[in-house]
Structure 1
Amino acid sequence: MTRPQLSEGRRVRAAELFDQGRPGAEIARMLGVSEESVRRWRRVWEKDGADALRRRPATGRPPKLDGAQVEQVRAALEQGAQTHGFEADLWTLERGGLVVQRMTGVTLSKASVWRLLTGRLGWSLQRPERRAVERDGSEIARWIAHEWPPIKKGP
């Protein structure tokens, strides 16, 4: 049982105990909550009834993408950026927004793309390791083996 379901269950049980005329302190002990919570629930129960103690759906603007669209976008992003015509296989907010728009027809701001990627898809920020294109591993190894020891030794 999730935490919100557990909380709702306690409030509904409290309403049943209010109907039985049980004192607040006893209800608090039975449900493992504070007496202040029981007093608050009793006020709501007396004013609006037991249904007012039930959980209500979240308020606010609904997401622009439904669950099926989010999964469609997830599958597209997991194919990699090059699959979608980008030069490097690297996702940016702009690129992610373009893919979302192509797949769903919905235009999202950078902030909304960020929330989609990090919140709904569970992705995290990953920065590519920066290395010079001209980097020569064998030359670095030679320098470390032959030139670095005298420098480290000092004068």
Structure 2
Amino acid sequence: MGGRALTICTDLPAAELRRLARREKDRAAAARMQAIAGALEGLPRAEAARLAGMERQALRDAVVRYNAEGLPGLHHQPHPGRPARLDGAQKAVLKQVVLDGPNVEATGLSAWTLSELCQEVEQRWGVSYHPSHMGKLLHQLDLSWQKARPSLPKADAAAREAFAKGGCRPPSTTRGRSTPTSA
């Protein structure tokens, strides 16, 4: 325990920190503000941290960030994460590929499936995706994962329109039905 005490920046008084903490929407940042305010008021660091619902080390980390960055340092710091496997231009091309649909004569496909899109991306850019992740990628590109209704190039467009309007048969004429007579 022989570490030296860490001083806290006193730009804002403890009462002002508590007031800001009450209005803060980020609960973790509000707890950090409350803990720093308690330490500024003279509470032992362990007690100030306990009252704010955190460990003493978390309070120390918050004090270091508060001294370095001020109030914005008490908010969550996003981590960059793994870089995307496809860059922005490749994602734009992928979106256009999905919107254009597969070449029926070359691929034999009438509509893309997730696994076929994974194969297409691997052939074009050498990047492999799992089909479930390809669905997430399509969602990021504002595309639906659902397959479109297949449209065959040699299909009769007039017959398709007739079917969409109510079926393949011409409208039936009402015929007078004869009622069976009882004997």
TM-score by length of 2: 0.51
Tell me how far apart the structure 2 counterparts of residues 57 and 65 of structure 1 sit (CA, whole Å). 21
Which one of 137, 145, 158 corresponds to residue 125 of structure 1? 145
Aligned position for 1:140: 169
Which one of 124, 127, 131 corresponds to residue 106 of structure 1? 127
How far off is 1:64 after superposition?
A: 1.9
Maintained 8 Å contact 1:73/1:103: no
Aligned position for 2:55: none
Number of aligned residues: 128
Report the structure number with the largest CA radius of gyration: 2
Q: Judging changes above 3 Å, is the alpha-carbon distance between structure 1 residues 58 and 126 closer, same or farther for their aligned structure 2 residues?
A: same
Identify the structure with the greater helix proportion: 1
Q: Judging changes above 3 Å, is the alpha-carbon distance between structure 1 residues 58 and 47 closer, same or farther for their aligned structure 2 residues?
A: closer
Residues 1:40 and 2:32 aligned together: yes
Unaligned regions of 5+ residues in structure 2, if any?
A: 1-7, 37-58, 178-183
What letter corresponds to residue 85 of structure 1 in structure 2? A
TM-score by length of 1: 0.58
Amino-acid identity (%): 22
Q: For residues 20-77 of structure 1, give each alpha carbon's deviation from its aligned partner in whole angstroms, at most 9, with x where no partner exists.
A: 2141332235xx3269643324345424434343653435433322223212322333
Tell me how far apart the structure 2 counterparts of residues 109 and 125 of structure 1 sit (CA, whole Å). 14
RMSD of the alignment, in Å?
3.9
SS at match of 2:90: helix
Which one of 59, 80, 88 corresponds to residue 101 of structure 2? 80
Please say which of residues 86-95 and 54-63 is displaced more in the overlay.
Answer: 54-63
Unaligned regions of 5+ residues in structure 1, if any?
A: 1-14, 151-155
